A and B are shown apart, each in its own frame.
Chain A
Amino acid sequence: MQAIIAAKHLTKRYGDLIAVDDISFDILPGECYGILGPNGAGKTTTIRMLYGFSPMTAGELTVFGLDLREHLRAIKSRIGVCQQENNLDPDLNLLQNLEVFGLFFDLTRRQAREKAQALLEFMALDHRKEAKALELSGGMTRRMVLARALINDPELLILDEPTTGLDPQSRHQVWERLEDLKKKGLTVLLTTHYMDEASRLCDRLLIMDHGRILVQGKPADLIRQYVGHDVIEVAEPDPALRAYVKSRLLQHEDFGHRMIIYEGNGGNLYHEISKHYCKEGCVLRMATLEDVFLKLTGRELRE
């Protein structure tokens, strides 16, 4: 099966700063692929190269089997991009926003209007079609940006942090729309730093930091491989627990007031620990993508 996106040794330098450092990945048709990473990891730079916003410094990039450098216009006419900023056109109302965007993709005015109408209904925004972009709530704005990215019936949808800053209701609404689109076979590439979003939507993903890929694979495989099935969280671990963890050579992370122990292959470790070392309480929970993410990218703040 031919990959929708094939990136080989993709690199982007700004002067001395290497924003993206030799990364390679493939995205297959119908797949939802995630690029995860802390702020400044190079996620946005990576996807900006994919739609020609930033020219790559080195590497090879083919989209739909076409070389990006040679066929940028043809490629751009087949993808939909939902940028991180809410850059709807404030001079136009919602219907016009979509229509004008349709014209940029060379639709006729009639086609653009019909498509715009349908998308407003799909995003549950048709009751606000006369509203100006700045009158919308955060969730509506995001849905509108998503609608705009679909005006050309793209074969590939690129989303840069689609739900950042939204309330839980709005996030779920965006996710449901994305799942509808996925069901129709649309290939989706998204960046996010929400692990629940990635677990829910992505078939495969990569985690990057400092411009390099740390791991890539299916979310469930990554969890199993890097943290195991379950995780034990202990509040206020005491020296006895630390000694026990050390003696048993358990994989763990110690944050002073809290300790996370990766349980590995089940067994009665939790039973053991909760019985002897749990004064302040401890929990057994399923390992999540967030555990993988934090384990790989560390816990220091990125600003």
Chain B
Amino acid sequence: MKRFFAMISWMGLFRVWQRNLIVYLQNWKIRFLSPILEPLFYLLAFGLGLSTLVGHIRQGGIEVTYTAFIAPALIAINIMNNAFFENTYGSFVRMYYQKTFDAMMATPLTVNEIIAGEIVWGATKSVIATTIMMAIISAFGLIDYPAGLLLIPLSFLGGMAFGAVGMYFTAITRHIDLFNLPFFLFITPMFLFSGTFFPVENLPEWARIMAMILPLTHLVSAARSLCLSHFDGMMFWQLGYLTLFSLVFFPLALYKMRHRLIK
């Protein structure tokens, strides 16, 4: 492990990250729009529309409104989407169509630094989106502070997990259309069944076990604990699972990318 990290210079990683930040800041007004509007739309639709039908949900021994139930899930879904989109479509376009990585490889940067920088950038986008969403959701009084502030480091951890797995798919995907597979088979099921819009406990036994394998389930639970300031021992398992998930897919993504890029 030590040797593995010795192959990455922090400065190199930072430079790749910085390149993406420079591009991002060019259109920040437009890029900020989605994390502002998305929670607004969801909260209005579900809060006004659905919550009267659903009533309250018992969550970890306390009663919460349906809107309070889904608000942390919206943040978790956004953490997943930002990092996963960035390190699949975003990174694939830079790698395959723009040949940005090829150009970088003619500089002192190494493939490891380029890919690590891309994944950390994906996680950074999750952090940015989370921070903006928190401001919006807080206006509805749905985040309990100061525990809620821990959503920011959580979004980085979640971003690393989903960015790393996204980059792994990018390394093994031959054509950009094939990203439909991980999106339909991995992202969409997670979006629906990870305790996002209804509690995992409502699922049949086998599906509940399946849901426990999915990283989003743990991210949603952790985000919910932070928003509601409701902690129990499960938090350690949730964070542990996300960390483990990152530690598996981060080196795997780098390994596969080296194979793909170094000919």
Q: A and B bound?
A: yes
Name A residues whose Cβ lies closer than 8 Å to a Cβ of B.
Answer: 14, 48, 51-55, 73, 76-77, 81, 83, 85, 87-92, 96, 100-101, 103-106, 148-149, 152
Tell me the bound Cα distance from A87 to B103 in angstroms: 6
Closest chain B CB from A5 CB (angstroms): 16
Pair A89/B98 contact, Cβ less than 8 Å: yes
Chain B 108-133 interface 0/1 with A at a Cβ cutoff of 8 Å (1 = within):
11100000000000000000000000
Q: Using known A-B contacts A54-B263, A106-B11, determine if residue A96 contacts B108 with beta carbons closer than 8 Å.
A: no
Cβ of B105 under 8 Å from chain A: yes
Pair A87/B99 contact, Cβ less than 8 Å: yes
Pair A83/B108 contact, Cβ less than 8 Å: no
Pair A100/B110 contact, Cβ less than 8 Å: no
Pair A76/B107 contact, Cβ less than 8 Å: yes
Known contacts A87-B102, A105-B107, then 9 further A-B pairs from the complex at CB < 8 Å, ordered by chain A residue: A48-B263, A51-B106, A53-B106, A76-B106, A81-B106, A87-B98, A96-B22, A104-B109, A106-B11
Q: Using known A-B contacts A103-B18, A103-B19, determine if residue A89 contacts B108 with beta carbons closer than 8 Å.
A: no
Partner of A101, one of B98, B107, B262: B107
Closest chain A CB from B261 CB (angstroms): 9
Tell me the bound Cα distance from A51 to B26 in angstroms: 32
Pair A55/B262 contact, Cβ less than 8 Å: yes
* Identity of the chain B residue whose Cβ is nearest the Cβ of A54 in the assembled complex: B263
Tell me the bound Cα distance from A96 to B18 in angstroms: 12
* Identity of the chain A residue whose Cβ is nearest the Cβ of B99 in the assembled complex: A87
Cβ of B138 under 8 Å from chain A: no
Closest chain B CB from A83 CB (angstroms): 6
Cβ of B59 under 8 Å from chain A: no
Query: Which residues from B are CB-within-8-Å of A54?
Result: 262-263
Q: Using known A-B contacts A96-B22, A100-B19, A104-B15, determine if residue A53 contacts B109 with beta carbons closer than 8 Å.
A: no
Name B residues whose Cβ lies closer than 8 Å to a Cβ of A.
Answer: 9, 11-12, 15, 18-19, 22-23, 26, 98-100, 102-110, 262-263
Tell me the bound Cα distance from A90 to B23 in angstroms: 10
Pair B98/A92 contact, Cβ less than 8 Å: no
Tell me the bound Cα distance from A90 to B103 in angstroms: 12
Query: Which residues from A are CB-within-8-Å of B9?
Result: 73
Closest chain A CB from B95 CB (angstroms): 11
Tell me the bound Cα distance from A47 to B99 in angstroms: 18
* Identity of the chain B residue whose Cβ is nearest the Cβ of A48 in the assembled complex: B263
Query: Which residues from B are CB-within-8-Å of A73?
Result: 9, 108, 110
Pair B108/A104 contact, Cβ less than 8 Å: yes
Closest chain B CB from A42 CB (angstroms): 13
Query: Which residues from B are CB-within-8-Å of A48?
Result: 263
Query: Which residues from B are CB-within-8-Å of A76?
Result: 106-108
Query: Which residues from A are CB-within-8-Å of B26?
Result: 91
Closest chain A CB from B191 CB (angstroms): 28
Query: Which residues from B are CB-within-8-Å of A100?
Result: 18-19, 22
- Among all A-B residue pairs, the 4 with the closest Cβ atoms: A87-B99, A81-B106, A104-B107, A91-B23
Tell me the bound Cα distance from A96 to B263 in angstroms: 29
Tell me the bound Cα distance from A92 to B27 in angstroms: 12
* Identity of the chain B residue whose Cβ is nearest the Cβ of A74 in the assembled complex: B108
Closest chain B CB from A40 CB (angstroms): 15
A-B contact pairs, 9 of them (CB 8 A): A52-B105, A53-B102, A53-B262, A53-B263, A76-B106, A83-B102, A83-B106, A87-B99, A104-B15
Closest chain A CB from B168 CB (angstroms): 23
Tell me the bound Cα distance from A85 to B9 in angstroms: 27
Closest chain A CB from B14 CB (angstroms): 9
Query: Which residues from A are CB-within-8-Å of B110?
Result: 73
Q: Using known A-B contacts A92-B23, A100-B22, determine if residue A105 contacts B108 with beta carbons closer than 8 Å.
A: yes
* Identity of the chain B residue whose Cβ is nearest the Cβ of A14 in the assembled complex: B263
Pair A53/B100 contact, Cβ less than 8 Å: no
Tell me the bound Cα distance from A54 to B102 in angstroms: 11
Tell me the bound Cα distance from A152 to B263 in angstroms: 25
Query: Which residues from B are CB-within-8-Å of A85?
Result: 99, 102
Tell me the bound Cα distance from A85 to B26 in angstroms: 26
Query: Which residues from B are CB-within-8-Å of A96?
Result: 22
Query: Which residues from A are CB-within-8-Å of B23?
Result: 91-92
Query: Which residues from A are CB-within-8-Å of B15?
Result: 103-104, 106
Tell me the bound Cα distance from A91 to B24 in angstroms: 9
Partner of B98, one of A14, A90, A106, A152: A90
Closest chain A CB from B12 CB (angstroms): 8
Query: Which residues from A are CB-within-8-Å of B104?
Result: 104
Query: Which residues from B are CB-within-8-Å of A91?
Result: 23, 26, 98
